[in-house]
Chains A and B, each alone.
Chain A
Amino acid sequence: MTDPIQRAKAGDPDAFRILYEGHVGRIYALCLRLAGDPAKAEELVQDTFVRAWQKLPGFRGESAFGTWIFRIAVNVALTERRSTGRREARIGTVADPEALPTAGRSGDPGDRMDLEEAISGLPPKARAVFLLYDVEGYQHSEIAEMTGIAEGTSKTQLFRARRLLREALSR
């Protein structure tokens, strides 16, 4: 049994570490963008891999391991977001492009760092849909399945996110 997935399913943590090393970069990138905060992203990465370890015996290999764990990460991050969001809702969320971060803005709407910063200032749902559709390349039907929102909501949130970003980056 040389396959690390099969060995990890059987309970071998060393094999699971191989899977961790192969996939942590993609999972961290997603969590960092969804959370907008490196410390929170590290927590989400840890939660994702612990959850994956728990669910691994049920992994049937119908999708690639990378796709499977990516979906777990989305779920972990959004569940965390929902509970944090309930607390933050009392304070208010960003829905106005004027309120998006502007520090260090280059004036070029294609500048990567400006874009990362502007994404981090999007409202959570719009940010998640934008990341999954425009950065990760998922379709609305897949996003709906992953996040538990309706396809129409996914399209509406994407519409909103794109306009907020365009306005924020063109200021």
Chain B
Amino acid sequence: MTCEQFDQWLDAFLDGGLASGQRSEMELHLTECAACNAHSTEMRTVLSAATALPRIIMPPRDLWPEISARLPARRDVHARQSTLWSRWVPLAAAALLLITVTATITYRLARPTAPGPVVVATSPAAVVGFAADREYVLAAEDLERVLAEGRGTLAPSTIELLERNLAVIDAAIAEARAALEADPANADLRALLWGAHRQKLDLLDRATRLTRS
């Protein structure tokens, strides 16, 4: 294999897209050519750093006021919905609470006593009245579903690490949520809760990408 051929195949090699014969040729060349070996190592380092880049960066200032000023009105529809909303919100909140309580009781009654297969933890129920909390929970559930489909591709040690980290974040979410329920007007607590949610989404997002790589 020439160095030029090695470079042509390097991307597919690093992405795991080569057939086993081609992979063996690449591995052999790596042992024979110090320059290509160094290039391959540098490329791995760059790609690993790219994967580790933060995928959430908050803007330095709140952009909402300018966005809000630019939103074309759809308020007529909203006004009609608001009337319905104010009429139905207590019932909806009660229904949500009932569903949560029922699901918890059902789960506790139905869960097996023997340890089952390791599963990725799911989010606890959202704070009633905080729609963003529910939106985060739904987004996390979306990712958890995708992750569950691909979890067979992950190494047991990766799953273990992932679940340990998710458990830590879930505990932080539960703590922030409990504090917020006791003090709903506290903006700092809300920011803490949203921050914990974002961490969870970021972790799930990264894990989902691992199942695809």
Contact = CB atoms under 8 A, between A and B. Distances in A.
Chain B interface main SS type = helix
Given A10-B81, A11-B76, A11-B77, A2 B70 contact: no
B73 interface: yes
Interface residues of B, number: 60
A61 to B, nearest CB: 10
A98 to B, nearest CB: 17
Contact of A130 (B50, B134, B197): B50
A21 B73 CA distance: 20
A162 interface: yes
B85 A28 contact: no
Interface string B153-191: 000000000000000000000000000000000000000
Contacts of B85: 1, 7
Contacts of B82: 12
A20 B55 contact: no
Given A24-B63, A45-B63, A162 B11 contact: yes
Interface string A16-36: 111111101110110010000
Nearest to A165: B46
B20 to A, nearest CB: 21
B71 A16 contact: yes
B32 interface: no
Interface of B: 11, 39, 42-43, 45-61, 63-64, 66-68, 70-78, 81-82, 84-85, 88-89, 92-93, 96, 131-132, 134-136, 139, 142-143, 194, 197-198, 201, 208-209, 212-213
Given A24-B59, A109-B45, A166-B46, 12 more contacts: A2-B93, A7-B85, A13-B68, A22-B197, A25-B198, A42-B59, A46-B63, A50-B70, A110-B45, A162-B11, A162-B47, A166-B39
